[in-house]
Amino acid sequence: MKYVVWTLVAILIVAHQDNWLWDNDTLVFGFIPAGLAFQMGISLAAGFTWWLATQFAWPVELEDNAPAAGDQQ
């Protein structure tokens, strides 16, 4: 699942460029330009992908596995 999550992150980065919508001025829902609507979708997809990352790729080994050292002084 970790690989799926990181693949999704890579797809997000590539999809973000969306050259295919560069000159598309269609309005989604009648008021959001297609390029903007796609990028808003990228934001939502990023939130979902990062949720998957926290569920399936979280570095549990870093989770409080060592006692606090106290601040460096």
Partner 1 sequence: MTELWIIVGYLSLLLALGIGASLYSRGTSSDFMLASHSIGPFLLLMSVFGTTMTAFAMVGSTGEAFREGIGVYGMLASSSGIIHSLCFFVLGVKLWSYGHRFGYRTQIQFFRDRLDSDKIGVVLFPVLVGLVIPYLLTGIIGAGTIVNVVTQGPKGEPTFDEGTFPAWMEQGETGFAIDGSRGGVPKPVGALIVCAVVLCYVFFGGMRATAWANAFQTCVFMSLGVVTFYLLADKLGGGDTIWESLRALSTNPHIPAGKATRSDISQLHFFTYMLIPLSVGMFPHLFQHWLTAKRASTFKLTVVLHPIFILIVWAPCVLLGFWATAGAVAGGSLPDGTIVPPPVAADPNKVLGFMVSQLNSDWMTGLLSAGVLAAIMSSLDSQFLCLGTIFTEDIVGHYGGRKRFTDRQFVWIARGFIVVIVAISYWLSIAFDGRGVFTLGVWCFSGFASLFPLALAALYWMRLTKFGAYAAVLGTAFSWVTLFWASGFGDANVRTFDLWGMPLQVGEGTVLVTLGESTYELMAVVPMILVSTIAMIVVSLATPKPSQATIDKFFPATTSH
Q: How far is the CB of 28 from partner 1 (least distance, A)?
A: 10
56 binds partner 1, rule: CB under 8 A:
no
Record the tokens describing residue 3, joined without a space: 């690989």
Q: Point out which residues pair with 28 in neighbouring strands.
A: 32
66 binds partner 1, rule: CB under 8 A:
yes
20 binds partner 1, rule: CB under 8 A:
no
43 binds partner 1, rule: CB under 8 A:
yes
Q: How far is the CB of 2 from partner 1 (least distance, A)?
A: 12
Long-range contacts of 28-37 (CB under 8 A, 24+ apart): none
CA separation for the pair 21, 40 (Å, rounded): 13
